[in-house]
Amino acid sequence: MAQTILIPTDFSIGSLQVLKEFLNKQEDNSKVNIIFAAGYTTSSSISDLLFFSKHRIIKTLNLDAFDDAVKIIENKYNNKVNLTKIEFFTGWNQRSFINFLEGNDVDQIIYSKEEQLKSIHKSWFDITPLVRKIKYKQTAVEVDYDIEYPREYIALSPLFSTRG
């Protein structure tokens, strides 16, 4: 059975660099399932909760460039990546985050050691502080950038300009 890896994301190239770094350092050829997870604040309105849709959120966030980059990585590492998906964590405390991890059968969390996640979307929040507080198998990866790039949410070139 494939191991499930969770990567906190802000849907930028940095999150994909964490995945690339992990896949490059993975020694065995076992396949992994990748979950890109982001915090998402939901409204307390009953109608908003009734019509909550992950697909609508993804459409609102306009993740076309991110999806394209994920597909390229899936193709490049097709011997290591079984599947990738996006999940949204909508809770607020550690216990609900642990339930989120257990519900998604997460075996390990991989995140960037030095990068703080940021997003231009007001409903999004960084789950990395929750990751650092819980006792769960986790690895902070040092992402090796050859050139310093400005934070991009659309361009794919920084992803393919680094080593690896």
7 beta partners: 36
Q: What average pLDDT does this structure show over 95-100?
A: 94
Which of 22, 11, 117, 15 is closest to 67 using CA atoms?
Answer: 11
> Does CATH number 3.40.50.620 belong to domain 3-160?
yes
Give the model confidence (pLDDT) of 115-153 as tens digits. Answer: 677 777 777 888 998 999 998 899 888 876 544 445 544
> Which helix (H) or strand (E) element contains residue 125?
strand 124-125
Closest CA to 10 of 139, 123, 132, 107: 123
The span from the CA of 67 to the CA of 116, in Å, is 21
| pLDDT value of residue 70 | 92
Give residue 160's pLDDT band: very low, low, confident or very high (50, 70, 90): low
- Each domain of the chain, given as residue ranges in start order, spans 3-160
Would you call 37 helix, strand, or coil by DSSP?
A: strand
Gap between the Cα atoms of 141 and 24, Å rounded: 11
Predicted TM-score (pTM) of the model is 0.82
Listing DSSP states for 140-159 in one string gives EE----SS-----SS--HHH
Give 62-86 pLDDT, tens digit per residue. 788 888 899 999 999 999 999 999 9
Tens of pLDDT, residue by residue over 17-41, are: 899 999 988 888 789 999 999 998 8
Q: What pLDDT sits at residue 73? A: 92
